[in-house]
Amino acid sequence: MPVLPASIAGGAHLAGEAAVIAAAAVLSSYLSLPSRLLEGVHTYIHPDNIGTGDGLRAAIRQPSDDASSTEQPQLKRRSRSERDGGAVKGKSPFDESGAQLLRLRLVDSHLRTRLYFPEYRRSFVSSISAVSCLLLGIFLSRRSSSDSDPPSVAEAAVPVFSSLFAAAHVFSSLAKVSFERSATKRSERQLAALSGFIGFVSALLIRYIFSPSIFDFRFPGGAVGFWGITSSALAGCLAGFLFVPAIRAARSLWLGTDQLRWNLDGAMSSGKISPILLSAAFVAGVVAPLMWIKPIVDFPARNSSPAKFDQFRIWLLAASATLQLLAVRPNLQTYLNEAVLSWYQMLHSSKIPDSDFARAKVFLHNHNLCLVVLQFFAIPALEMLLLGISQTTARSSGGALLPDFASTAKETALFFAWWISFVWAMYTISTLALLRCGFLLIS
């Protein structure tokens, strides 16, 4: 078979990568893949009980919106027996007809009305396009005539820059939702800021003191410079942005695997495969970052060649990110089920339940579902993109491999991918431990 000239082969390579990016973006948008991922998930709404008309009317609005209604109900002073939880004329002071929820299946029209759906859709499309281009580049590089002849800089530029663009967009979207005040408590935002500062200091220590003696990373240059401080600051930002979604993922794992044996499957939507996916994603997310800690992997690393062991832990980190992506849907479903659990606790906590709090809880979980799914999706997508960048190789026009800057950038991208998995595992394990010991409660 005749070999194409280098210029023609390089042009075909670039054209193929550009075509893959365009095809992935068009197909994702045309087939509505961001919505298809979430279709069929059960969400819950608190119905309004109106005295006339057809009975129940589904209402998805904030409790404060009732104040804008044209017809205001007349407030009556309650008697002492009503305040004490007693019955008046044989009737309970709590209207049990309003103690019910409606369960709906999400469809595309529902999702488009939710907060942060455009950001989630753009992050999904850009990530799928970039990952498709990265996979094509890896496949084509494997089919090279020899391992010492990687693609040229021009051929590697398309997947690298598309991945950097997608990673920047996902990172900015994650930062945007992290500052959404309606979706997090003030204490959570304060702890996230503290975690970000601790993450910045920890990244500096790992980069300049504990590598490569304890953590298996080799960064060129030993002095603290602008690149090291900037990358450590970005690692600190990631640690702060990961705090709230990691806490939510831990709560989803706690509820999704029914650790308290509440047996509410009849009331809350859950599948048989969801606990398996949640558990597998948790185990892989904990094991994968341990492969870069030398005291832990010293023995298995000695019994295999360095190249094979490096490939093994890279594939393990990729498998961890893939399982996290597969667990996005179970995580979202469990997050929505948490509102049902709060509603059940409201019904049985007192003789006169606080229905306003339960209704607000159900509304907020329903209203912020795209914000939450963006957080669950952005973390593994960002990890996958950074891991793909770290595995890209290229050669200059003279045939020599790109020097120090490229190797530093690749090692930094690998460090960021590992850092996301490591910080996520630390947050998840800590939250599960606090839940197990009873210091944290789900309400």
pLDDT band at residue 337 under the 50/70/90 scheme: confident
In whole angstroms, give the CA distance from residue 142 to residue 10: 15
The reported pLDDT for the residue numbered 101 is: 75
**β-bridge pairing 102-105 and 56-58:** unpaired
220 pLDDT above the threshold of 60 = yes
Residue 55: exposure state from Cβ atoms within 10 A (0-12, 13-18, ≥19): exposed
Q: Which residue has the higher pLDDT, 86 or 425?
A: 425
300 pLDDT above the threshold of 80 = no
Place of tokens 């979202």: 332
The reported pLDDT for the residue numbered 79 is: 52
pLDDT band at residue 55 under the 50/70/90 scheme: very low
pLDDT, mean of residues 127-148: 74
Each residue's pLDDT tens digit, 141-186 = 666 544 455 566 666 778 888 999 999 999 999 999 998 888 888 8
Residue spans of alpha helices (H) in 41-152: 80-83, 108-111, 117-142
Each residue's pLDDT tens digit, 177-200 = 998 888 888 899 999 999 999 999
- CA angle, 334 as apex, 329 and 339 as ends, to 5°? 135
Q: Which residue has the higher pLDDT, 353 or 87?
A: 353
Place of tokens 């341990």: 290
The reported pLDDT for the residue numbered 394 is: 59
The reported pLDDT for the residue numbered 382 is: 96
**Nearest by Cα to 80 from 72, 92, 88:** 88
Most confident of 125-139, 219-233, 382-396, 413-427: 413-427
The reported pLDDT for the residue numbered 48 is: 60
**Nearest by Cα to 267 from 338, 350, 366, 328:** 338
Q: Which residue has the higher pLDDT, 316 or 55?
A: 316
The reported pLDDT for the residue numbered 224 is: 61
The reported pLDDT for the residue numbered 52 is: 40
pLDDT band at residue 4 under the 50/70/90 scheme: very low
pLDDT, mean of residues 55-75: 44
Distances (CA, A) of 416 to 4, 33, 66, 233: 38, 27, 47, 11
pLDDT cut 70: percent of the chain above it:
74
Each residue's pLDDT tens digit, 267-292 = 566 677 888 999 999 999 999 999 99
Specify the pTM: 0.83
**Nearest by Cα to 195 from 423, 381, 383:** 423
71 pLDDT above the threshold of 60 = no
Each residue's pLDDT tens digit, 44-53 = 887 765 444 4
In whole angstroms, give the CA distance from residue 170 to residue 172: 6
**Nearest by Cα to 183 from 315, 365, 349, 40:** 365
Tell me the CB-side half-sphere exposure of residue 9, using CA atoms within 13 A.
12
Torsions phi, psi for 180 (to 5 deg): -75, 110
8 pLDDT above the threshold of 50 = yes
In whole angstroms, give the CA distance from residue 213 to residue 4: 47
For 223, which DSSP code? S
Residue 70: exposure state from Cβ atoms within 10 A (0-12, 13-18, ≥19): exposed
25 near 125, Cβ under 8 Å?
Answer: yes
pLDDT band at residue 57 under the 50/70/90 scheme: very low
- Indicate the domain borders of the chain: 21-56+98-437
Within 10 angstroms of residue 120's Cβ, the number of other Cβ atoms is: 28
pLDDT, mean of residues 363-383: 92
Show the tokens assigned to 244: 């709230």
In whole angstroms, give the CA distance from residue 28 to residue 291: 34
**Nearest by Cα to 169 from 431, 412, 374, 400:** 374
Mean pLDDT across the chain, nearest whole number? 80
Residue 7: exposure state from Cβ atoms within 10 A (0-12, 13-18, ≥19): exposed
The reported pLDDT for the residue numbered 269 is: 61
